[in-house]
A and B are shown apart, each in its own frame.
Chain A
């Protein structure tokens, strides 16, 4: 509490200072690198794209890419974060207005997810695979442990408990993890059998129904 109260006092609101030229340049480089990386990752895949190519495509030097990002994975991480921010912004707007049962709301949420992610399937797969890479900084957030998605699922389940269509005796964390495992499987399908958003949603719907049998109120 103290910390929260102290922050505004320590940093009183000021009129934004004129942007420092160096900062502006750095920001511009960063944006150009991310835009270039987005394009190259989508067309050539993550593994098939080098930092050198990203730099050339962005029209900056290799050195300046490395002054902004520690590694290629960090570029990917930032690209993904930008995209996911868009998705979660959309979900934050939509979720409170969803009607129907917990199962219906979960299905809709995942359907929105797949419709969004399927456009960048290869990138998501690279991102998931990288999650198990050694050399990652501990601060990187692998998709499988995506906190925003997990929060949305947990909120959905808690709402269900309050409304009585999720058994109050279950541990929402466990249900959430099962849903995440099911979600990961759907990604494998997408990767291996080139499933589209519709096929992904259908498989996810069946899995949600099976899990729901385990969280439905008894009696």
Chain B
């Protein structure tokens, strides 16, 4: 009885003490994810096979499939974990901003810093982002939506403070800012731009995209 009560209590607070099996499963997942992260970085999304990932993690392909339905499931998990962490970093960065221009710049820079040391993975994410199925799934993921939300909030605050005019274009402006942010990864990935160069470019882009909402 006591045993059951404990489980019920744990369920209520949702901090279930993991069983040994659950723990082992978690460790397996972590090992697969670490190996996958490395192989996606080295060989790209198309280049890395489940077989390679399994062997790098020191397990059978069966054991990988017991934890992930397929390669795209595995990749999505890595991406979404990263993007969740990035959305948080962006939100913190935006809180330190002084006005919409500065706030947006801090948000952009937080993103470039985050991927600075893992550009190959970012490149793989862009490739997947164009797939007809995974692309829209990635864009509508809550993690990505909360990045867009950080931008939207900065625009709204600018409107509330009177620095920006409110208007029908706000939603479009937020989306365009996000896409401008994304587009600079091209420069970072393919042309090796430095953080300073990315920041300078982002600063100008933000100014251009905000210009229409500035009171003249």
- Mark A residues whose CB is within 8 Å of B: 125, 128-135, 144-145, 170-171, 174-175, 177-178, 180-182, 184-185, 188, 191-192, 206-207, 209-211, 213-216
Contact = CB atoms under 8 A, between A and B. Distances in A.
A75 to B, nearest CB: 16
B211 A181 contact: no
A134 B183 contact: no
Given A128-B130, A132-B124, A185 B176 contact: yes
17 contacts: A132-B127, A134-B46, A135-B44, A135-B46, A171-B204, A178-B180, A178-B208, A182-B179, A184-B179, A191-B132, A192-B135, A192-B139, A206-B172, A210-B172, A210-B212, A211-B208, A214-B209
A191 B208 contact: no
Contacts, number: 93
B124 A174 contact: no
Contacts of B127: 129-133
B209 A210 contact: yes
Interface residues of B, number: 35
Contacts of A130: 127
Contacts of A191: 130, 132, 135-136
A216 B47 CA distance: 46
A206 B207 CA distance: 18
A135 B47 contact: yes
A188 B132 CA distance: 9
A133 B179 CA distance: 20
Highest count of chain A CB atoms <10 Å: which of B46, B124, B182, B189: B46
Contacts of B135: 188, 191-192
B204 A174 contact: yes
Contact of B186 (A145, A170, A188, A215): A145
B208 A175 contact: yes
Nearest to B201: A174
A207 B43 contact: no
Contacts of B8: none
A214 B207 contact: yes
Interface string B189-216: 1100000000001001101111110000
B85 to A, nearest CB: 22
A140 to B, nearest CB: 11
Contacts of B46: 133-135
B115 interface: no
B126 interface: yes
Contact of B175 (A133, A185, A215): A185
B58 to A, nearest CB: 24
Given A132-B123, A188-B135, A192-B136, A170 B208 contact: yes
B72 interface: no
**3 A-B pairs with least C-beta separation:** A213-B212, A214-B208, A132-B127
A180 B183 CA distance: 8
Given A210-B212, A214-B208, 14 more contacts: A132-B130, A134-B43, A134-B44, A174-B201, A178-B183, A180-B183, A181-B176, A191-B132, A191-B136, A206-B169, A210-B176, A213-B212, A214-B207, A216-B211
A190 B209 CA distance: 23
Interface string B155-177: 00000000000000100110110
Contacts of A131: 127
Contacts of A145: 186, 190
B131 interface: yes
A18 to B, nearest CB: 44
Interface in B37-52: 43-44, 46-47
Nearest to A134: B44
